[in-house]
Amino acid sequence: MVRIGVLSIQGSVAEHLARLLEVDGVLPVRVRDEKDLSGIDGLIIPGGESTAIGRLLNEFNLLQPIRARIEGGMPVWGTCAGMILLAREVEDEEPWIGSMDIVVRRNAYGRQTDSFRSIEMVPSVSDIPLELVFIRAPIIVGTGVGVEVLLRTGEGIAAARQGSLLATSFHPELTSDNAFHAYFASMVKESMKD
């Protein structure tokens, strides 16, 4: 049984926990402090407001421990705001965790009222088309050498992986499909074999 944590300080926490419950061999765990962080095998940083989450990570003394766990090989998946927090570089602002070699543009698709759904093929994740929910979504506008592009859209890159790090500009937890959660669980299981 792999223990996958969901950072539980802001954002779509309950939805991620619900999707993880549907994946065989996964025990979802709420992560609110360093003790919770030390007991998990992988971490999801959910959407929300990246600046607010970043400040709370500082306030709860979680920023450095998360960086350290990433350096130690723990898989981390950032969705929407989580992607911004993972990025090495964010246009027009300082990075937060900064562990993934991507450059991100905030609100690339516009404001909340410009939110939308689309159906896309993401071959690395599923052999059937997936529904994707974009809410005030960021986009990846640059990648380093070790970054694998999983989904490209007209605006740029909407999903990418770098080793044990996964980033999506959309919200898979807001659909009824758990393909991305199963994909991340397989990354976590893979990392535990090393």
The angle that helices 179-193 and 13-21 make with each other, rounded to 10 degrees, is 70
CA–CA separation, 190 and 158 (whole Å): 23
Q: Tokens representing 159?
A: 């999903």
Query: Has 171 been annotated as catalytic?
Result: yes
CA torsion 39-69-97-140 (nearest 10°) is -100
Query: Has 59 been annotated as catalytic?
Result: no
CA–CA separation, 60 and 125 (whole Å): 33
Which of 59, 173, 181, 190 is catalytic? The answer is: 173
Check: CB of residue 76 under 8 Å from CB of residue 165.
yes
Check: CB of residue 25 under 8 Å from CB of residue 41.
no
Which of 91, 171, 181, 190 is catalytic? The answer is: 171
Query: Has 173 been annotated as catalytic?
Result: yes
User: With the C-alpha atoms ordered 140, 141, 147, 151, is the resulting torsion angle positive or negative?
Assistant: positive
CA–CA separation, 34 and 11 (whole Å): 19
Q: Tokens representing 79?
A: 């969705």
Which of 80, 91, 94, 181 is catalytic? The answer is: 80
CA distances from 49 to 68, 80, 186, 190 (A): 23, 9, 27, 30
**Catalytic machinery residues:** 80, 171, 173
